[in-house]
């Protein structure tokens, strides 16, 4: 039950303990991309936790008991709301945190608290629930355009199959080469796969979850799970790390039970198909590529080696690594539904990654996330250091 004046009613017990466990050591500051580009200490993970702890103390803690429950300063609440929504939820702070605070999940819950108080979300994020209700996607685009502009001719999903492919809103509307690559690779592997219709494949719920707007979530999750169940699906494949995260971590919670199928990322499917020989490459790629680990894929669900296996399987390709890679990877700026609100931050963060790719003389900047794909492309626009951006499945499909 949500209590009106409580600051902890959106949090799990573990999260309340986590807020108290922060030692204020500041190790997280060294890894925070928003901190890197803004230099603003108030948006740092350490500061957000400290301020939220103060909110709890002055309303429910000893301070509140001794000096009476105080109204929390409205200005401070608004500043905190901005800070919490400016975060890309990349989770790098939690990864490095010496006491292991699970920040990638804590921030959405603190956002939820601010939404409950009528302070969040910010700017266009407010429109997401309405868009999802109206069109089924977060971009307010017609469902009829979800697949048609990019779906490859000659690829035929079947009505029912053990494998299903979920495209996701960002891929479908903002990263066509990527989802086209997915479909081509799936078809080339030869296993029949199914898809929901363009009207049926609605948002997975991630943008709502990450902006703390939970109202529609249970309905969306139940609708999607039941649709895939009707198709006899055993494995649901998706190339968007945010969707994959939402499905694997949050869907069971909103469904109230375990999912009746497995969730896999597209690179896992491709790496297995390559290893088993069901996916054969006719050509290679002669050049150096640098692979960026998406935060929600590496830190989020631990898919780290499979994308590298896919890339290493391409003849002639030389794989480069970012200095910060795998679970330590640096956010590209696209995450946390912040990219449409704090556009300058996102571009500046994206350019930090571009700088490194450029300095390392990479011929291609390889991504495996539609949000990264879309945002790094924006960051590349007009920038003097140009590196060609390619999705991992786009590259693989080019070798089929």
Partner 1 sequence: MAILLAIVAYAALLVFYVGVTVRFLIYIRGDGSPAPGGKQSISSILLAILDIFLLRRLFNANPGIWPGSWVFHISFILVFLGHLRFFFYDVPRWMIVLAQIKPYAGVALIASLAYILIYRLVWERMKYSSIYNLMLTATILLLGLTGLFLAQYFRADITAAKNFMMGIFSFRIIAPPQNWLFPLHFLLAFVVLAFLPTHIFTAPFTTIESRRRQEETEGLLHD
Q: State which residue, 26 or 232, has the beta carbon closest to partner 1.
A: 26
Residue 76 interacts with which of ligand SF4, partner 1, none, CB < 5 to 8 Å by class: none
Q: State which residue, 28 or 72, has the beta carbon closest to ligand SF4.
A: 28
Asked if residues 15 and 106 have their Cβ atoms less than 8 Å apart, the reply is yes
Q: How far apart are alpha carbons 264 and 243 in whole angstroms?
A: 11
Residue 92 interacts with which of ligand SF4, partner 1, none, CB < 5 to 8 Å by class: ligand SF4
Distance of closest approach, residue 185 Cβ to partner 1, in angstroms: 18
Residue 292 interacts with which of partner 1, ligand SF4, none, CB < 5 to 8 Å by class: none
State which H helix or E strand residue 391 sits in.
strand 388-391
Structure tokens at 83: 């800070």
Residue 364 interacts with which of ligand SF4, partner 1, none, CB < 5 to 8 Å by class: none
Q: How far apart are alpha carbons 310 and 368 in whole angstroms?
A: 11
Q: State which residue, 56 or 389, has the beta carbon closest to partner 1.
A: 56
Q: State which residue, 60 or 223, has the beta carbon closest to partner 1.
A: 60
Asked if residues 225 and 256 have their Cβ atoms less than 8 Å apart, the reply is no
Q: What is the DSSP letter of 250?
A: I
Distance of closest approach, residue 383 Cβ to ligand SF4, in angstroms: 21
Residue appearing with tokens 């609100």: 341
- The packing angle between helices 45-60 and 103-116, to 10°, is 50
Neighbours of 61 (CB within 10 A): 16
Residues that bind ligand SF4 (CB under 6 A): 22-28, 31-34, 45-46, 49, 87-93, 97-99, 101, 103, 107, 331
Phi, psi of 36 (to 5 degrees): -55, -45
Distance of closest approach, residue 335 Cβ to ligand SF4, in angstroms: 7
Q: State which residue, 313 or 337, has the beta carbon closest to ligand SF4.
A: 337
Q: How far apart are alpha carbons 110 and 116 in whole angstroms?
A: 10
Distance of closest approach, residue 97 Cβ to partner 1, in angstroms: 7
Residues that bind partner 1 (CB under 8 A): 1-2, 6, 8-18, 20-27, 29-30, 46, 50, 56, 60-62, 65, 96-102, 105, 109, 112, 244, 248-249, 253-254, 263-265, 268, 300-303
Q: State which residue, 43 or 313, has the beta carbon closest to ligand SF4.
A: 43
Residue 61 interacts with which of ligand SF4, partner 1, none, CB < 5 to 8 Å by class: partner 1
Distance of closest approach, residue 65 Cβ to partner 1, in angstroms: 6
Q: State which residue, 103 or 135, has the beta carbon closest to ligand SF4.
A: 103
Q: State which residue, 250 or 394, has the beta carbon closest to ligand SF4.
A: 250
Q: At 173, is the secondary structure helix, strand, or coil?
A: helix
Q: Which of 109, 152, 124 is nearest to 11 (CA)?
A: 109
Structure tokens at 49: 């936790």
Q: How far apart are alpha carbons 61 and 69 in whole angstroms?
A: 9
Residue 50 interacts with which of partner 1, ligand SF4, none, CB < 5 to 8 Å by class: partner 1
Residue 283 interacts with which of ligand SF4, partner 1, none, CB < 5 to 8 Å by class: none
Residue 90 interacts with which of partner 1, ligand SF4, none, CB < 5 to 8 Å by class: ligand SF4
Distance of closest approach, residue 56 Cβ to ligand SF4, in angstroms: 15
Residue 268 interacts with which of ligand SF4, partner 1, none, CB < 5 to 8 Å by class: partner 1
Instruction: Classify residue 123 as left (phi > 0), alpha (psi -120 to 50) or beta.
Output: left
Q: State which residue, 298 or 345, has the beta carbon closest to partner 1.
A: 298
Asked if residues 88 and 186 have their Cβ atoms less than 8 Å apart, the reply is no
Q: Which of 323, 314, 337, 333 is nearest to 373 (CA)?
A: 333
Q: How far is CA 60 from CA 3, 31, 71, in A?
A: 12, 32, 11
Q: How far apart are alpha carbons 88 and 107 in whole angstroms?
A: 9
């Amino acid at each position: 039950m949500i209590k009106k004046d409580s600051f902890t009613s959106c949090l799990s017990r573990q999260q309340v303990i986590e807020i108290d466990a922060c030692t204020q050591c500041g190790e997280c500051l060294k890894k925070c991309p928003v901190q890197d580009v803004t230099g603003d200490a108030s948006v740092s993970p350490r500061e957000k936790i400290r301020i939220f702890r103060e909110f709890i103390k002055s309303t429910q803690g000893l301070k509140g008991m001794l000096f009476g429950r105080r109204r929390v300063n409205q200005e401070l609440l608004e500043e905190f709301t901005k800070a919490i929504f400016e975060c890309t939820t990349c989770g790098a702070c939690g990864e490095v945190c010496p006491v292991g605070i699970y920040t990638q999940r804590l921030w959405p819950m603190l956002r939820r608290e601010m939404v409950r108080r009528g302070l969040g979300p910010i700017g266009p994020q407010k429109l997401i629930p309405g868009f999802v209700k109206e069109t089924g996607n977060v971009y307010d685009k017609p469902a009829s355009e979800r697949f048609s502009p990019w779906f490859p001719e000659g690829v035929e999903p079947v009505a029912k199959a053990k494998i299903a492919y979920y495209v996701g809103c960002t891929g479908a509307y903002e990263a066509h080469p990527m989802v086209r690559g997915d479909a081509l690779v799936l078809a080339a592997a030869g296993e029949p796969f199914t898809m929901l219709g363009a009207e049926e494949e609605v948002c997975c719920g991630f943008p709502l979850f990450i902006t703390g707007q939970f109202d529609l979530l249970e309905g969306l999750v139940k609708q999607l799970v039941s649709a895939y169940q009707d198709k006899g699906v055993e494995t649901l494949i998706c190339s968007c790390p945010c969707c994959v995260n939402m499905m694997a971590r949050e869907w069971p919670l909103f469904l109230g039970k375990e999912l009746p199928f497995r969730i896999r990322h597209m690179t896992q499917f491709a790496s297995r198909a390559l290893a088993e020989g069901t996916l054969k490459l006719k050509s290679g790629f002669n050049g150096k590529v640098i692979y960026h680990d998406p935060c929600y894929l590496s830190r989020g669900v631990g898919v780290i080696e499979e994308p590298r296996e896919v890339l290493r399987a391409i003849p002639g390709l030389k794989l480069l690594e970012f200095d910060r890679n795998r679970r330590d990877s640096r956010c590209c700026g696209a995450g946390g539904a912040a990219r449409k609100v704090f556009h300058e931050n996102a571009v500046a963060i994206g350019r930090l990654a571009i700088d490194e790719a450029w300095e390392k003389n990479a011929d291609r900047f390889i991504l495996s996330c539609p949000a990264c794909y879309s945002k790094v492309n924006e960051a590349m626009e007009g920038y003097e250091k140009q590196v060609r951006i390619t999705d991992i499945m786009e590259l693989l499909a080019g070798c089929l």
